[in-house]
Amino acid sequence: MILLQITNQSSPLNISGVLFFGTMGMLALAIGLVLFIIFHQRRVIRYQLQLKEMEEEQQKILLNASIRWQEEERQRIAADLHDDAGPLLATARLYLNENLVKQDISTQLQAIYNAKQIIDDTIQLIRNISHSLMPPTLKNFGLESAVNDLFQKISGSGSMNASSRFHDYRQRLRPEQELLVFRVIQELVNNILKHSNASFIHVTQNYNEDRFFIRLHHDGRGITQADVERLNKSALGLGLKNIQSRARVLHAKIDFEKDMSQTYYKVTLEVPVEEYEMIT
Amino acid sequence: MLYLEKHTIITTVLRNIAVLSDLLPLILFIFFARSKKNIGLRVAFYIVVFSAFINFFVLSNRQAREYTFLIGRITTIFEYSLFSLLFFNIIVSRAFKKGIVVITILIGLYLLYDLFSTANNSFDSVPSGITSLTFLIYCIFYLFERVSDPTSLFLYSSPVFWVVVALIIYFAGTFFPFIYAQSHMKEDQFISEYDLIHDTLYIIKNLLFGFAMLIKDTTIKSPSSITKKK
């Protein structure tokens, strides 16, 4: 308005000034805006590339952790078979060796009885290995029973008070999902037993809208999300990385935090169920 | 006196370059454009064809020169319609699109009213100023919409971006000359300054249009990108 008033009364020189400065100002604004957009875009692209690199790095760490975990599991099974089943079967073979026919009947019977006992132990051992690979309770009766079973065993040992409560598990997850959730719980419990020195563990289950929740509380030394992120960047925390790769397969979110009261540590696993068909 | 002579030479040379510069995007679109179906390039092409037609055939005709201001008003309406169509297509926000429709109708009616009711013996400063401001707002909204969309990467590898850049520079630069043209078009110094500014920006606009014609539309979106329609 002021510019217009000045222009109306003024000489052509003033119009020139208004034209020059007005045009330059508008051009500066327009070019400034375009440059801002271009540089902002470049910054966004750089940021996205960094994010991508970090994600790839994270994926690599998780993959390595998964491979290492598989190798450790294989070594454990191999050790169980080699150290336990191997000597047992070798002993049974000793009892049943060629010299047995030369013995008297009572020695033969005793040897056969001993061999039978050893073979029974071997069967039990192989059953235990098999159960550790795939818990039969989980397969036959579902996640709730498997978790209850696991917690009863822990409580039964007397080292810790372990309890679980499933509030709403009328609709079961799909078997492969149940196995993954069970493995996550197993790994968490394992970590608590090994590192936390807790006196109790309590697991609760619930549904909220389209989400399946598992919450695990304990009163020992725990970790928070910041610790998890720190461990993710290092080669340590194989169990945690396994938990995270399983959570990733489930498209689930896992949060490690300290309770509001600052007394307990809490781990929450949140599984979106709309992506996974539930079975009744 | 010497200054004015020099000025006249410069403005004449600029005018000729400006008129010829229409050919650049035209030729590039016909022979080299790799994304001919792109709405930005099409609009730029139609605008350039129209401008070239006006500059080469109409304004070279002495009789037609008498109707320069009328032709200017018709050009404003034509450009306004095409650019509104362009922004309607490239802006994602549904609310803003509705706004574009309403504004286009209102301003379109005003432009028609102005065309038929005003004597065609002066520059259409008010319609030009209003349309310039409208396009500047559209351009700024488009750019900020693109910036606020974290999924749109390499924005400047899109021809539409360069068409919008050409428009924002042209309309921002010519805003003041357009506004003052109606009342000062009879002053020689103003005319030479107007020509200097307008023709320079006209050449820049055509250069940017030409640059846009050469760009292959390879706007990259991140994998999670799903265009959110508000």
Measured in residues, chain A has a length of 280
B165 vs chain A: nearest CA distance in angstroms?
7
Q: How many CB atoms lie within 10 A of CB A122?
A: 19
Q: Which residue out of A4, A10, A11, A23 would a mutagenesis test of the B interface target, given it has the greatest number of B Cβ atoms within 10 Å? A: A23
Cα dihedral B45, B48, B54, B56 sign? negative
Residue A220 and residue A196 in contact, taking contact as beta carbons nearer than 8 Å: yes
pLDDT given at position B209: 92
Instruction: Evaluate the CA torsion angle A98, A101, A106, A112 in order and state its sign.
Output: positive
**How many whole angstroms from its chain centre is CA A192?**
14
For A214-253, write each residue's pLDDT tens digit. 999 999 888 888 888 888 777 677 788 888 888 888 888 9
> A145: helix, coil or strand?
helix
Query: pLDDT at position B230, please?
Result: 37
pLDDT digits 0-9 by tens, B98-144 = 999 999 999 999 999 988 888 777 788 899 999 999 999 999 999 88
Going by C-beta distance under 8 Å and a sequence separation of 6 or more, which residues neighbour residue A106? none
Q: pLDDT value at position A31?
A: 92
| Chain A residues near residue B136 by CB distance under 8 angstroms | 30
pLDDT at B81: 92
Interface of A with B (CB under 8 A): 7-8, 12, 15-16, 18-20, 22-23, 26-27, 29-31, 33-34, 37-38, 40-41, 44-45, 48
The overall average pLDDT reported for chain B is 84
Dihedral, CA of residue A269, residue A273, residue A276 and residue A277, to nearest 10: 140
pLDDT for the residue B223: 45
Q: What is the mean pLDDT of residues A193-205?
A: 90
Interface confidence, given as ipTM, is 0.81
* Cα R_g (chain A), whole angstroms: 33
pLDDT one-digit tens code per residue, A142-175: 899 999 988 988 888 887 889 999 988 877 888 8
Most confident of A187-191, B5-9, B185-189: A187-191
pLDDT at A5: 41
Q: A62, A231 in Cβ contact below 8 A?
A: no
Instruction: Locate the chain B residue with the closest alpha carbon to A27.
Output: B173
Confidence of residue B39 (pLDDT cuts 50, 70, 90): confident
Q: pLDDT value at position A98?
A: 63
Q: What is the pLDDT of residues B40-91, one digit of tens each?
A: 888 889 999 998 888 877 767 777 777 888 888 888 999 999 999 999 999 9
Asked if A44's CB is within 8 angstroms of B143's CB, the reply is: no
Q: Is the pLDDT of residue A10 over 60?
A: no
| A26/B172 Cβ within 8 A | yes
Query: How many angstroms separate the CA atoms of B81 and A250, rounded?
Result: 52
Does the pLDDT of residue A94 top 90, yes or no? no
CB contact under 8 Å between A30 and B173, yes or no, is yes
Shortest CB distance from B143 goes to which of A22, A37, A48? A37
pLDDT at residue A137, as a whole number: 83
